[in-house]
Structure 1
Amino acid sequence: MSRTFIKTVLIAAVTVTGISLATASPAKAGNDDLAKFLFGATALIIIGKAISDNEAKAAPVYKSKPKPRPRFTKALPGKCLRRYNTWDGRVRMMGNRCLENNYRFTHRLPNSCRTRVRTDNGMRRGYQMRCLRNNGFYIANR
């Protein structure tokens, strides 16, 4: 049997008992006050039960799961690897703008690896590949 059915039957029994006590015995001086008290107490119990049932049926509150943060990866996109000829030799570096467009975690790259290189086509900015490898980064695909 369900709990609500049992509670309803119990409340009805208490109510009927309170009413029958008030009407069953002959009118005596003290018995009339007792009947009024029992009737009032029963009414309060029924009202309290109705309020508590209404609160129990309130809409449940669901907590949403936090969105998982993207995992930081040290795999750099291979298409950002650049080779530049400078006056003192060849330089391998990851292009700054290419990384900003294709790698989500540029803010996690070590600042000590940042570099500028003067080429025949002007200044180029990026990250030294050797420095990045020493810090655990690698090229994912070429």
Structure 2
Amino acid sequence: MIRTAMPRTIIKLALSAAVAATLTLSPAQARNDSSGDDSAAIIAALLGLVTLGVILSGDDKPSAGGDHFVHTPMPTFPKPHRPKPPKVSKFHKLPAHCLRTFKTQTGRQKLFARRCLQKNFAFAHELPSTCAKSVVIRNRKGVFVQRHGYRPKCLRARGYRAAQNH
């Protein structure tokens, strides 16, 4: 627990005021006679002031005896090693011939075909799943089939580019 000097000073002031008030008021209330001898009250007031001075002049630094709180840091654990794909350039280069145009019921859509990427791109298993998309198309026989791929704009935003075929 970390403590600052301001609350410690306030606590000391309140404690010393309580002790001083107790010491100065108790002899005055205990005295029933009005003989005019105020020596006991003066001694009690001086004792209260001395107590107040001792409390306020206390050392705020922690001592070597360990009577103050000591801050112990939380243990840190090493992060697990995750191998990254080798970077050839600034961008990950996807094979351009995997970019296909699919004719769907809602119009034409361009996608990087998943099966083509799995065959021709070594890190296809690391492509972001948020870019994955499935479309329904008609094949040559007129049957509706589902094709899976990755949206080019989404991949481009994450550092992937289509490599030019030479």
Q: What is the TM-score with the length of structure 2 in the denominator?
A: 0.42
Greater fraction helix: 1
